[in-house]
Amino acid sequence: MDLINSLKIAASGLGAQSQRMRIISENIANSDSTSTEKGGDPYRRKLTTFSQEYDRSLGVDLVEVGKIKYDQGKFGLRHEPGNPAADDSGYIKTPNVNGMVEAMDMREAQRSYEANLNVITSARRMLSKTLEILRV
């Protein structure tokens, strides 16, 4: 039944967006994490990728979380001569995490999650109505 397929497709979208929100949360939580060793690299921002997975039993493409990649952007620098991770010039590297970008990504992930949830809610309502009609 196509409504059942719609539920499974939307459920795969929910799972993917949930994983995306988890990665964004990690980025936000580590946005101030620096290295503990002299000249070491701090936390590197993670990026979520998606791929499609063909489900042979349903005959549809489902969304899957692909490999988690690392943002290759440059680290920031902050002058903290007393920090054990500071280089010879007194600078430490700061994570390449931008709070505004993470907030926008989180909002987009939330909206996608809500859209998939609305699909599930609508499909469930239609299935219930169909069952009511069939009972009569």
What confidence tens digit (pLDDT) does each residue in 18-67 have? Answer: 999 999 999 999 999 998 888 889 999 999 999 999 989 888 899 999 99
pLDDT tens for each residue of 62-81: 999 999 999 999 999 999 99
Higher pLDDT, 3 or 52: 52
Q: From CA 94, how far away is CA 78, in angstroms rounded?
A: 7
Task: Say what the pLDDT of residue 104 is.
Answer: 97
The tokens describing 72, both together, are: 């290759």
Here the contacts of 64-70 (C-beta below 8 Å, separation 24 or greater) are 64/12, 64/16, 65/15, 65/16, 65/19, 65/20, 68/23, 70/44, 70/45, 70/46
Query: Can you give the pLDDT at residue 1?
Result: 56
Is a pLDDT exceeding 60 seen at residue 131? yes
Q: Distance of alpha carbon 18 from its chain centroid, rounded?
A: 6
Provide the pLDDT for residue 39.
80
Q: What is the pLDDT at residue 4?
A: 85
**What tokens were used for 27?**
């980025």
Q: Is the pLDDT of residue 108 over 60?
A: yes
Residue 129, classed as helix, strand or coil, is helix
Helix axes of 99-135 and 2-29: crossing angle, nearest 10 degrees: 160
Q: What is the pLDDT of residue 38?
A: 85
